[in-house]
Structure 1
Amino acid sequence: GDKIDFLRLALPADYGEIGYPAAMTSWLVPQEHAHPGFWCGDRYARAAFRKFAEQKFRTIGAVNAAWGTEWKSFDEVTFPDVGDDYAAARRACESRRPSDRRRWLDFVAWYHDSQLDFMRQAVAIVRRHFPEIEIVVSIGYASEKPVFGNDYSAIPKLAAELDVSLQTPGNVGYFPLKRVSTACHFYGARYYTEPPGGVDRNRQVARIFNDASNGTQVWFDYPGNLAGAVDLFQQYKQHLTGQRAINDVAILMPMTDHRLHPQHGFPPEVLETASRLRERMDYDVIDELMAADGALKNYRLLIMPTGQVFETEALAAIERFVRGGGVLLCREVGGIETIDGARGFSEPVMPETVPGIDAIAPDGALDYDAAVKHCARRVGRGYVVKLPAGWDRSELFYDLATRLNFDLKRLDPKLRNGILVETEDNGVATTLFADRILLHNFSDGQVSLKIPLRQEDFEDRVIGRPEKWEYELTLAPYSIEVIALE
């Protein structure tokens, strides 16, 4: 062509993505010293951290009070223990001292914010030379392990501020995609995807469905992938509209608690919940930053699989959500508190006396009526529903989340049910749009469905109506079907 449509801003990490080196490209270019870790051992990083502490606290006395240290001057300020065993994070969890928590969390925040600061500077340099051309920044890793330095909400928020587009790998799990796309749509950043090389036909169908479900606005692909799937694009391309799916259920990503457990890419309970629920419902993913910025106003139901330690502002936002008519589902995690160790909510919002698990699952299966009766507490105009069980009874948590989504009126007739399509664990996922329902069979077997749509679910919603209320569909392996809404 005779013009540049966009510029990909490659940052100095794996594949040019925003974050720190992790040796993911060693297969392509052998790297003698590249590995996941905290890349801040040089004198420049140490000086930057001392400057950060001085700007944040002003006096060394304030630093010592916040972090439990005994330094005499800012020249002595240094990182917590950031070795491979994450000793400082482990100490913060075990001691539960606010000073241990603050020191570790402040370090991680500085480490992540350094990437955001670099992104600001890099975008400014490119804009100076190419003021009219769209800039695309890649956000990757499919993980928020703190060593990677990539915050999947803070980066989209900054991208919207800088008017740059974000591009993520499109052939990863649904949860990482949804984590980024939810933030992009909320903050107003353009959302694109790209694949690895060598995507087979079945994964191309999955990517088409996932990109449609995530409201992807630009699809980037390699000629080899496209050449082997021309017929699939001809069949399904009409679904790649960039239109955002309709979701009023969100899963909470507890970032503060997650950063206190830096060995994980995502909290295992959150990742497992998202994976298990996808065949039953679609969802968005929000974190504490998004909650504090007002994202909860878009949802009926907030699912919190785990999390004990939160920022005060996030808990205040969750409490406002519930008091305003939202429903929070959580489970027994041993108490919820702020970083400083204070009681999590300004007033008691958790059910005070919840019977044993046998009262709501007498034969091992969930008794929804008993759960509604014993596990829910009215808070303002909303409810908190707390499952009295640990993660060893996770199936009950998934079942309760499903029933709450599609039968909230059993809890309170004034609440709204979700639009029920199908909830079987059968290898089929569904996504709702204003003008259609997409169904994706991601299994290797044919699936036959009988779908009785509930007319009352569509009332008082700005959404099309189906031609009929009952459907019988047969989905071939690795295929997409559609129910039109008009």
Structure 2
Amino acid sequence: MIRPGLGAPQGEWAYFRSSFTLRDAPALARLTVWSASPCRVYVNGYRAWSGTPPAAGEVLYITHRLAQGRNVLAIACRTLPAWDGLGFDLRMRDAHGHIHHLASGRDVRAAERFVEGWQQPDFEDRSWSRARVAGAQLARAPERTRGGTVERPSRESGLPHPATSTEHTVPMPAEPLDYGRIIRVWRLGHGSSGDLYTRDRAPGERMLLTTSVGSQAEMTAAISAGFTLFQTDSDHLSTEQIAPGVWDYHRPDADLARVTEAGMDWCYFPHFAFPPKWYRDAVPFTRITCLEHNKPIQAFSPWEPKFGNSVSIGYRELAKHYSAPRQGPKALYLGVHGDYGECGLFMGARVATPDQRSDWKKRFGDTHDHLGWWCADPLARASFRNAMMHKYGDLDVLNAAWHTHFRSPDEITYPADPHALSRRAWLDFTQWYLGSVSSLTDTVCRVARAHFPHTLLVLPVGFGDENPRGGNDNSMIPKIAARYKVDVRSTHGGFKPFPQNQASMLGRIATACRFYGVPFWTEPPSAITPEGELGRFFEAVSEGSKGFFDWGANVLRNRDIYYRYGKFLRVEKPVVDVAMFYPTTTHLLQPDIGYPQMLEQGCAALRDVLNYDIVDERLIQDGALDRYRILVLWEGTVVEAGTLEKIRDWVARGGVLVAYDFGKIETVEGDRHWFTDLFGYAGKLNPVIPGRRYVGPSGDPAPQRYRVSVGQPSAVPFLSGDWYDPEMSDGLLRRWTGANAELVVPVTPGSAYTLEIRASIPQEASSLAHDVLVNGTLVGTLNQAGEHTYRLEVPPALLRTDTAVITLRSDTFVPADLMPPSGDRRKLGVWVTYVQMEPADSIGPQEAEPLTGHIEAVVDYRRLRAEWSRHYGKGWTVFYPATRRSIQGYYEVVRYLTYHLSDLDPALHDAIPVDDAWDGIYGALLTRGILYYNPTMQTVARNIVLPPAAFRNYPQVVRPSRFNFTVTIDPQSITFVPFDAPVQELLLQCEKFTELGSLRPEEGREFNPPDAPNYVHIPAGGAIGTRFQCEVPGRYVVFYRTLHRGRSARAEVRIDGLPVRNMPPAMGPHARPATEEAGWVTLGAGIHSMELRAPRDRDLDADFVVLCSDPAVAGYTFAPVLPA
């Protein structure tokens, strides 16, 4: 360790500089820094890192910051009381594999005072003193690597000549291990042939896990959790072309080298939508421009032919750079356009956070980035005119469809809004806009596939909603991906709580991927909590994902979730035959609504009792309905005639169509014959107002004083009407209301209550009316600007039944109109944190319990079968005669039809009832079993009874060995119930073997479990034995951990007197277990004997043996010790 020559006062900073010269820029440079206090590290004037290094040192890869010629490493350290000096070790490998070494020592210059520019390469430091060596940080034994022994240089600093350097690889530094935590090592191949990343993966195989190239701790955590593919993003707002014909790949090369040295695989995320500054200054091109302001962004217009040319050149150069013999990426994440390279245009995300906003302004001189119609440039307008003339062929035909009077094609222009001309005019515009953006996706896929014909290619599919301004057409993207054998990665992983997430974009994209045969991946938009990570696991498996991306910081923070529940990250095939209708046409006619609200609300609520897919009009036109028994309508009174005909034909062939009273459905041109044909009887039905009852967890009554925190998932069963998605603010989840937001809550009839509401109203909207009603009667108003708690009295005369409807009725406002520069076009009422009910005679402040459970509607199923249903061909229509105010009754109708369809028609079959209870537990029927997810804080025990006859209609599902079982699901956990033999892992600790002879257990630091006698020393040729019980017969792979002089060494394992020698498939290049693999053995139920024998020429320290029936497990190791 080194210090300034004269020392430095405590609490101040000490400054160090080391200059060195390189003949060539390095191929890989790894810097390790040790210090017990905060540091700032600069490389050639660039601030490379700041923070307090961990005990093992902070590892930085600085390859792209070093250059041929003179370089300077500068480090500042805070001189806190615990500071014992600075240590650093810089290893640089050149293109020939030679290692150059620079370390902290007396040749380093040091100072105790700050001088302006001290970290810059041209700073003159000859007046600085030499550093004083204060410790022996670098005096270690030679470091063993896979390439040989690296001898530390005899000098403490300096650069040995390449000819005298040892050729070797620079490995990722080894982290200390937690010998108390055994973790699994995964066998990704299962013995299958073909590329690991591009081949089809069978049910039960491990999901592919990918993450970002990050810090040493992040990458170590990811590798220990089973991640194998590490992603580098290129600059999202430029390209690697630094001058005409000059491409700079030093940063991806450095990451590739780093990932390769770690024994893992590399993925690259290239971008071409933003040309580099030299191109913008030198080459004329059409920039993307918004209609709202007629103002450009410095990116290619989607209609600019030079964009396609830029993509072609970019992928050609990328393929050339990574051509043989150079190792290239195992996967490419294909940047398309917009803020982050997703399949769409701009949404304002780049200027929504201070850091990104500052970067954008520094690059482009403004902060112009927002959600809008990005089609104001002349090429876009010409494209629109040409597309419309191509569609209609004749201007008179267009005028008739649009209700316009254009005299020449040059007059054709965009409609101002959905109501300015005809519906068809607006739909033509939005569909052309979405189609134009989709053509970009097609171009990128086509070009990338041409240059990388055998590489895994993945498309990023993002955006926070489906406002058509974004250009993201979420069913078209998978259809395009299927053309080029490209995977799809939805960036909505954990974007919302699980039920809302499946009810919106994530569920919709996953449905389209399964229909078009496209492998599906998920990715979180940003940081995620451990609870959110667990929900991600469930949604990924239940949606049939092939792969799973997570950011390195999330993996590090949530690694315990990966260690405990990562075993469930398997490729599965969900079994789903209920579909929810996504009203494409109606949604496009309402461009200010980000996502169909009733669809999301209903699907989120029903996910508690059934699984479903979401099909839009494109999927229906392409034949998706053939997969489903039931199609459920939620909203959408305008539908394309072709879609309605497809639905009618499907019903006539045996489908069941379900609707409630949300309005009569018509075609774009206003024809209602379809609705009359299928639901003509609806007008003759008597309206239904269903009874309601509160059902608490385990049948418990409602608390006397309770709170509904409307942003929490537990609130969903009590919400109806106009509620928007939860939003996080100050650590709290809240929801905006629309015009009429309702809560249905339990009460005691005839009792007086105090209703407490915590809500916020912007100053700009405080003059608008915001009323509170209970069972339709006004009880108060919310009328104060800012956030306030309102307490309102509810008289007993208003409460005549055991439930009450609380309505928040608002004159809404549009933020974009009242609060510029907001681009939010939602119609908002008030921002609600919670609603609380307590008896009016409550004394003093008391803690309100969270309201859990649900409100169950009471439905007369006899009326459903006799009055609300009609035979149509071989199928049925079911119309529930109630409006959205009675939506809970509709939930019950859909649940009943899912599991009791044969009651309506014996020719139809019922779903397998794996999750038909309103209990807050989510289930997914898979071909191999059932996956359950419990996001609550209560342990839930379920008795599952599966009708054997139901499996006849699901031949793809493994027939269970038993049909009645009890499953206990711990709080915030996932449980898998297999239909075949359950996975078994039998851990046998050697110190507990029953046949040790004269040997005695000993205690060692590097054995499991710690802090106790934990291993047995077996002399050469000696053996130990034991007996164990096997409860589940099957094939088991035998893993064991035995060491010789601290290194893994093989032993002989005998079971029932026979040596174990049948070797399973190869574990693959990524697996690095701490155990040895003896082979596999077939065990019957009962007692078996085991012997562990040392070879004749060496002794062994025996730790443990594991017998595992899971073919995806390649062995076991120990969790690394990492910072929290």
TM, length-normalised to structure 2: 0.41
- The structure having more radius of gyration, on CA atoms, is 2
Structure showing greater relative contact order (alpha-carbon pairs closer than 8 Å, 6 or more residues apart): 1
Q: Does 1:384 align with 2:877?
A: yes
Q: Does 1:237 align with 2:566?
A: yes
Q: Does 1:441 align with 2:973?
A: no
Conserved in 1, the CA contact under 8 Å of 2:928 and 2:958? yes
Give the partner amino acid of 2:912.
I
For residues 407-442 of structure 1, the C-alpha deviation after alignment (integer angstroms, 9 at most, x for no partner) is 111111111011112333322100001111011011
Give the partner amino acid of 1:474.
T
For residues 159-199 of structure 1, the C-alpha deviation after alignment (integer angstroms, 9 at most, x for no partner) is 10122221112122122211001101111122111123322
Query: Using a 3 Å threshold, how does the CA distance of structure 1 residues 392 and 163 change in structure 2: closer, same or farther?
Result: same
Give the partner amino acid of 1:302.
L
Conserved in 2, the CA contact under 8 Å of 1:439 and 1:481? yes
CA distance in 1, matches of 2:945, 2:631: 26
Q: Secondary structure at the match of 2:610?
A: coil
Range with bigger deviation, 117-126 or 358-367: 358-367
After superposition, where does 1:402-413 map in structure 2 within 5 Å? 402-413=895-906
Range with bigger deviation, 27-36 or 300-309: 27-36
> Which of these residues, 415, 431, 447, is aligned with residue 125 of structure 1?
447
Range with bigger deviation, 256-265 or 422-431: 422-431
Q: Does 1:146 align with 2:468?
A: yes
> Which of these residues, 164, 171, 174, is aligned with residue 494 of structure 2?
171
Q: Does 1:484 align with 2:978?
A: yes
After superposition, where does 1:97-112 map in structure 2 within 5 Å? 100-112=422-434
Range with bigger deviation, 290-299 or 170-179: 170-179
Once the two structures are TM-superposed, the CA of residue 371 in structure 1 deviates from its matched residue by 1.5
Once the two structures are TM-superposed, the CA of residue 359 in structure 1 deviates from its matched residue by 8.5
Query: Using a 3 Å threshold, how does the CA distance of structure 1 residues 13 and 277 change in structure 2: closer, same or farther?
Result: same
Query: Which residue number in structure 2 is paired with residue 292 of structure 1?
Result: 621
Q: Secondary structure at the match of 1:338?
A: coil
> Which of these residues, 332, 335, 340, is aligned with residue 7 of structure 1?
332
CA distance in 1, matches of 2:594, 2:933: 27
> Which of these residues, 620, 627, 633, is aligned with residue 304 of structure 1?
633
CA distance in 1, matches of 2:941, 2:888: 25
CA distance in 2, matches of 1:345, 1:146: 27
CA distance in 2, matches of 1:413, 1:372: 12
Once the two structures are TM-superposed, the CA of residue 347 in structure 1 deviates from its matched residue by 7.4
Query: Which residue number in structure 1 is paired with residue 1068 of structure 2?
Result: none
Give the partner amino acid of 1:163.
K
Once the two structures are TM-superposed, the CA of residue 130 in structure 1 deviates from its matched residue by 3.1
Conserved in 2, the CA contact under 8 Å of 1:329 and 1:384? yes
CA distance in 1, matches of 2:953, 2:428: 46
Give the partner amino acid of 2:380.
A
CA distance in 1, matches of 2:942, 2:641: 45
CA distance in 2, matches of 1:64, 1:427: 54
Query: Using a 3 Å threshold, how does the CA distance of structure 1 residues 269 and 217 change in structure 2: closer, same or farther?
Result: same
For residues 230-277 of structure 1, the C-alpha deviation after alignment (integer angstroms, 9 at most, x for no partner) is 343343334333222000111110101111111222211100111000
> Which of these residues, 682, 686, 690, is aligned with residue 356 of structure 1?
686
Range with bigger deviation, 129-138 or 407-416: 129-138
Q: Does 1:29 align with 2:319?
A: no
Query: Using a 3 Å threshold, how does the CA distance of structure 1 residues 136 and 460 change in structure 2: closer, same or farther?
Result: closer
Query: Using a 3 Å threshold, how does the CA distance of structure 1 residues 346 and 430 change in structure 2: closer, same or farther?
Result: closer
Give the partner amino acid of 1:14.
D
Once the two structures are TM-superposed, the CA of residue 362 in structure 1 deviates from its matched residue by 11
Q: Which has the higher helix share?
A: 1
Segments of structure 2 that go 5 or more residues without pairing to the other structure are 1-259, 261-326, 361-366, 496-500, 694-856, 981-1124
Conserved in 2, the CA contact under 8 Å of 1:361 and 1:367? no
Once the two structures are TM-superposed, the CA of residue 459 in structure 1 deviates from its matched residue by 3.0
Query: Using a 3 Å threshold, how does the CA distance of structure 1 residues 374 and 351 change in structure 2: closer, same or farther?
Result: farther
Conserved in 2, the CA contact under 8 Å of 1:467 and 1:484? no
Give the partner amino acid of 1:355.
L
CA distance in 2, matches of 1:412, 1:276: 26
Conserved in 2, the CA contact under 8 Å of 1:312 and 1:344? no
Q: Note the aligned Cα RMSD (angstroms).
A: 2.0
Range with bigger deviation, 127-136 or 109-118: 127-136
CA distance in 1, matches of 2:873, 2:688: 29
Q: Does 1:162 align with 2:490?
A: no
Query: Which residue number in structure 2 is paired with residue 63 of structure 1?
Result: 398
Q: Does 1:401 align with 2:731?
A: no
Query: Using a 3 Å threshold, how does the CA distance of structure 1 residues 362 and 284 change in structure 2: closer, same or farther?
Result: closer
Query: Which residue number in structure 2 is paired with residue 470 of structure 1?
Result: 964
Aligned length, in residue pairs: 473
Query: Which residue number in structure 2 is paired with residue 84 of structure 1?
Result: none
CA distance in 1, matches of 2:332, 2:689: 59
Q: Secondary structure at the match of 1:15?
A: coil
Query: Which residue number in structure 1 is paired with residue 383 of structure 2?
Result: 48
Range with bigger deviation, 444-453 or 175-184: 444-453
Conserved in 2, the CA contact under 8 Å of 1:137 and 1:165? yes
Query: Using a 3 Å threshold, how does the CA distance of structure 1 residues 200 and 360 change in structure 2: closer, same or farther?
Result: closer
Q: Does 1:423 align with 2:916?
A: yes
Give the partner amino acid of 2:664.
G
Conserved in 1, the CA contact under 8 Å of 2:666 and 2:675? no
> Which of these residues, 220, 223, 228, is aligned with residue 557 of structure 2?
228
Query: Which residue number in structure 2 is paired with residue 85 of structure 1?
Result: none
Q: Secondary structure at the match of 1:285?
A: strand
Q: Does 1:414 align with 2:907?
A: yes
Query: Which residue number in structure 2 is paired with residue 95 of structure 1?
Result: none
For residues 446-473 of structure 1, the C-alpha deviation after alignment (integer angstroms, 9 at most, x for no partner) is 3332333333322342122334333333
> Which of these residues, 607, 611, 617, is aligned with residue 278 of structure 1?
607
Conserved in 2, the CA contact under 8 Å of 1:315 and 1:344? no
CA distance in 1, matches of 2:454, 2:928: 35
Query: Which residue number in structure 1 is paired with residue 644 of structure 2?
Result: 315
Once the two structures are TM-superposed, the CA of residue 398 in structure 1 deviates from its matched residue by 0.6
CA distance in 2, matches of 1:460, 1:130: 42
CA distance in 2, matches of 1:345, 1:430: 36
Query: Using a 3 Å threshold, how does the CA distance of structure 1 residues 342 and 351 change in structure 2: closer, same or farther?
Result: closer
Query: Using a 3 Å threshold, how does the CA distance of structure 1 residues 438 and 344 change in structure 2: closer, same or farther?
Result: farther
Conserved in 1, the CA contact under 8 Å of 2:914 and 2:925? no
Once the two structures are TM-superposed, the CA of residue 129 in structure 1 deviates from its matched residue by 3.6
> Which of these residues, 521, 525, 538, is aligned with residue 209 of structure 1?
538
Once the two structures are TM-superposed, the CA of residue 282 in structure 1 deviates from its matched residue by 0.6
CA distance in 1, matches of 2:931, 2:490: 22
Query: Which residue number in structure 2 is paired with residue 114 of structure 1?
Result: 436
Q: Secondary structure at the match of 1:264?
A: coil
After superposition, where does 1:74-113 map in structure 2 within 5 Å? 74-81=409-416, 88-89=417-418, 91=419, 100-113=422-435
Range with bigger deviation, 402-411 or 12-21: 12-21
CA distance in 1, matches of 2:872, 2:689: 23
TM, length-normalised to structure 1: 0.92
Give the partner amino acid of 1:446.
T
Q: Secondary structure at the match of 1:468?
A: coil
CA distance in 1, matches of 2:334, 2:692: 57
Conserved in 2, the CA contact under 8 Å of 1:331 and 1:389? yes
Give the partner amino acid of 1:126.
A
For residues 81-134 of structure 1, the C-alpha deviation after alignment (integer angstroms, 9 at most, x for no partner) is 1xxxxxx22x27xxxxxx611000000000000011112222333344434323
Once the two structures are TM-superposed, the CA of residue 474 in structure 1 deviates from its matched residue by 2.7
Conserved in 1, the CA contact under 8 Å of 2:690 and 2:886? no
